[in-house]
Amino acid sequence: MSTTTDPDPSDGSIAFIPLEANPQLMTSLIHKLGVSQGLEMHDVYSLTEPELLAFIPRPALALLLVFPVSAAYESHRMAEDTLTEEYHGKGPSEPVLWWRQTIRNACGLMGLLHAVSNGPARALIEEGSTLDDLLKKSVNLTPNERSALLEKTPELAAAHREAASGGDTAAPNAEDDVDLHYVCFVKDNDNQLWELDGRRKGPILRGQLDSNEDALSAKALSLGALKFLEREGEDLRFSAVALAGATD
């Protein structure tokens, strides 16, 4: 088992401008990379109020949660990761496609890649697109080789830079230290709920869902995102976006 306690990319690593949790920008980014126009990112205004969740088209294919990397979270992560082997999976038999994050401040991009590359969304990636090419190259690579591929894909960096520079608030510098992080929850084609985070040792299976339950179902939320909120108590620096069908 690995004894590494700091999973973040080193200060000398490639750095990207942090991506704002803005569904319009994110939608533009995934479309530019090759995701079908039939999918969009949507604001999630509440994880507990059914009347607000009802505004999101269903099924929700993935949920991206933005959360504070607090002492409570890091304590939980290290306790859980201590009992986990490093992931070395590769090949078409993998239940999900996972990338380790080696680019500083790229957690938003990693969350989007995990969201659109797994479950039903993966079938909605356009043939010959940047993302299609990236996935075909990634499938048979180890996690470390996949990370190197991301670092060496200029089309990915350019699309991310354009999106991250167009937010509603002034974008931080790529080298800034940011204490908010993205995690992705996605339902695979076998109805399993996965937590996908490039800071972890690999993909984490959080539980089994029924065929009629999606990433925003009560069970999925209780197995995943709501546990983050429970740990943080009074800290309100949470936001969320969901991958689902287009509204137009």
Return the active site residues. Answer: 107, 181
H/E stretch holding 198 reads none
Distances (CA, A) of 34 to 212, 221, 226: 27, 28, 31
User: How far apart, in whole angstroms, are the C-alpha atoms of residue 183 and residue 115?
Assistant: 10
The owner of tokens 């167009």 is 166
Burial of residue 213, with CB atoms counted within 10 A of its CB: 0-12 exposed, 13-18 middle, 19 or more buried: middle
Burial state string for 124-147 with b = 16 or more CB within 10 A and e = fewer than 16: bbeeebbbbbbbeebeeeebeebb
Nearest to 87, CA basis, from 79, 97, 77: 97
